[in-house]
Amino acid sequence: MADGYPLWDGTRSTPATRAENLISAMVSDAADLTNAAKAMLASNNGISMVVMAFIPADQTDPVTVPIPPGFWGVVPISARRILSTGSTGLVAGLAAGDLSIILLTR
């Protein structure tokens, strides 16, 4: 409800949350995301643990979040940059299609 509206009030023609798929090209140790993420919807259909490293919107030090095999759910994060360094299996999982991450950006 950051913009003053509930997530769905029945009167808005657009959703209160924007979303975009995380793709390998968005994983960068140097460049911030176009829109900072406030949460992510993650699905790991692979057999390996994935670790995603990111820099929170209001910090400079990276943190990690594990995404275990079989996981599907929403994870509250505040990310301005998704890192390659410190991530394990992230880019490979995205490229193979075993991992799906949708960033909720607003």
> Where exactly are the structural domains of the chain?
20-104
pLDDT per position as a tens digit, 63-73:
999 999 999 99
Name the pLDDT band for 1 (thresholds 50, 70, 90). Answer: very low
Which of 7, 38, 32 has the alpha carbon at shortest distance from 102? 38
pLDDT per position as a tens digit, 5-40:
444 444 445 555 677 788 877 899 999 998 889 899
Contact 93, 76 (CB under 8 A): no
Rounded mean pLDDT, 43-64: 95
Average pLDDT of the chain, as a whole number: 85
Per-residue model confidence (pLDDT) at position 91? 93
Q: What's the pTM value of the predicted model, to 2 decimals?
A: 0.79
User: For residue 9, what are its two tokens?
Assistant: 């009030």
